[in-house]
């Protein structure tokens, strides 16, 4: 009788690919992954996640290329890869081919020194911030619809000053309690919405591209971009064609670049 051979593999990296515009998982076939420039191949799980077996634990550059999305490169840290379940959620930004097939609002152009860009829907108020436990890093929400908030990128929105603080959710403790990756820096009121954040792409030559879904009658979005270490905000109404290009803040504006909500 032949001896039984047991082959064990370690799930060295689990990847969840998200279409940042819709929030849905990307599951198409034409996706290429590279680790430090070398192509690597995942196994597909029934839940849509991708598993890379025996993925080295050394920090690396991890790149994703998928049809109808801009290429995305992230840096994976040794701390992430050494964790018991190393999960990377990577948001892909739709490109021009995507926009030609599915309706979406687009903000694109050139901004000197742009570092990042994202946006939240102004009418997204399904969850409201209540309290924050700084010691445990847990944000308590009023969440009457029991939303899972099972993505990573969200924001605590200040509707009075037309600005928001980006947050990353790393653990859902309950329907009302969510652990954050980093402490909150800005004060908030208990009526401040917690909204899903749509990520944009920063491209070569200081170009940027942001695409948001056109799936609601209210087409107002608050766009945040970072340049020279400062955050800038602009309210964009996609019902107004002249509002979809980033513009310089008014003279004498606060140092952090915030702009008051005052329409498109």
Higher-scoring residue by pLDDT: 248, 86: 86
Question: 247 or 183, which is more confident?
Answer: 183
Distance CA 26, CA 16 (A): 8
pLDDT over threshold 90, residue 206: yes
Using the 3D structure, point to which of 94, 125, 158 is the last residue of a domain: 94
> How high is the pLDDT of residue 249?
64
Residues 52 and 111 grouped into a single domain:
no
Asked whether residue 249 is assigned to any structural domain, the reply reads: no
The set of residues, in sequence order, having a beta carbon less than 8 Å from that of 57 and lying 6+ positions away, is 12, 78, 81, 82
Q: What is the mean pLDDT of the chain?
A: 89
What CA–CA distances, in Å, run from 196 to 27, 42, 71, 126, 164?
21, 28, 22, 10, 11
Taking residue 182's Cβ as centre, other Cβ atoms within 10 Å add up to 10
Same domain, 138 and 54: no
Domain's final residue, options 94, 113, 129: 94
Domain boundary among 51, 73, 94: 94
Same domain assignment for residues 78 and 138: no
23: left (phi over 0), alpha (psi -120 to 50) or beta: left
Q: How confident is the model at residue 3 (pLDDT cuts 50, 70, 90)?
A: low
Task: Tell me, yes or no, whether 188 lies in a domain.
Answer: yes
Structural domain for 50, as ranges: 11-94
Please indicate, yes or no, whether residues 63 and 138 belong to a single structural domain of this protein: no
Number of domains in the chain: 2
Residue 235 is assigned to a structural domain of this protein: yes
Residues 116 and 74 in one domain: no
Q: Is residue 182, in this structure, part of any structural domain at all?
A: yes
Q: What is the pLDDT of residues 129-173, one digit of tens each?
A: 999 999 999 999 999 999 999 899 999 999 999 999 999 999 999
Structural domain includes residue 252: no
Q: Do residues 117 and 146 share a domain?
A: yes
What is the enclosing helix (H) or strand (E) of 79?
helix 78-81
Are 83 and 115 found together in one domain?
Answer: no
What pTM does this model have?
0.87
Residue 54: predicted pLDDT: 87
Report the CATH number that the domain containing residue 76 is assigned in CATH. Answer: 2.60.40.1120
Average of pLDDT values for 62-87?
A: 94
Tokens of 177: 């309690």
| Same domain, residue pair 111 and 231 | yes
Q: What pLDDT is recorded for position 29? A: 82
The answer to whether residues 115 and 235 belong to one domain is yes
The answer to whether position 179 is within a domain reads yes
Q: Is residue 259 part of a domain?
A: no
Instruction: Kindly state the percentage of the chain with pLDDT values over 90.
Output: 73
Same domain membership, residue 20 and residue 137: no
Please check whether residue 2 lies inside any domain of the structure: no
114 and 88 inside one domain? no
Check whether residue 89 and residue 107 sit in a common domain: no
How many angstroms separate the CA atoms of 198 and 91, rounded? Answer: 9
């Amino acid at each position: 009788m032949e001896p039984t051979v047991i082959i064990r593999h370690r799930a060295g990296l689990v990847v969840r690919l998200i279409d940042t515009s819709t929030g849905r998982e990307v599951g198409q076939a034409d996706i290429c992954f590279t680790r430090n420039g070398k192509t690597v191949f995942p196994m597909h799980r029934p839940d849509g996640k991708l598993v890379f077996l025996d993925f080295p634990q050394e920090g690396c550059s991890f790149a994703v290329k998928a049809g109808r999305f801009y290429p995305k490169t992230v840096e994976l840290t040794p701390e992430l890869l050494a964790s018991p379940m190393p999960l990377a959620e990577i948001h892909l930004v739709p490109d021009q081919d995507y926009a030609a097939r599915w309706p979406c609002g687009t903000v694109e152009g050139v901004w000197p020194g742009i570092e990042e860009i994202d946006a939240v829907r102004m009418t997204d108020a399904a969850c409201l911030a209540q309290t924050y436990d700084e010691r445990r890093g847990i944000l308590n929400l009023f969440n009457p619809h029991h939303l899972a908030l099972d993505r990573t990128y969200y924001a605590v929105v200040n509707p009075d000053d037309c600005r928001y603080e980006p947050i990353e959710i790393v653990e859902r403790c309950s329907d009302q309690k969510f652990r954050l990756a980093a402490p909150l820096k800005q004060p908030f009121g208990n009526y401040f919405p917690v909204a899903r954040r749509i990520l944009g792409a920063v491209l070569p030559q200081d170009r940027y591209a942001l695409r948001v879904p056109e799936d609601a009658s209210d087409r107002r979005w608050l766009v945040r971009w970072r340049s020279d270490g400062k955050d800038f905000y602009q309210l964009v109404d996609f019902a107004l064609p002249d509002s979809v290009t980033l513009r310089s803040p008014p003279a004498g504006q606060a140092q952090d670049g915030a702009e008051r909500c005052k329409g498109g």
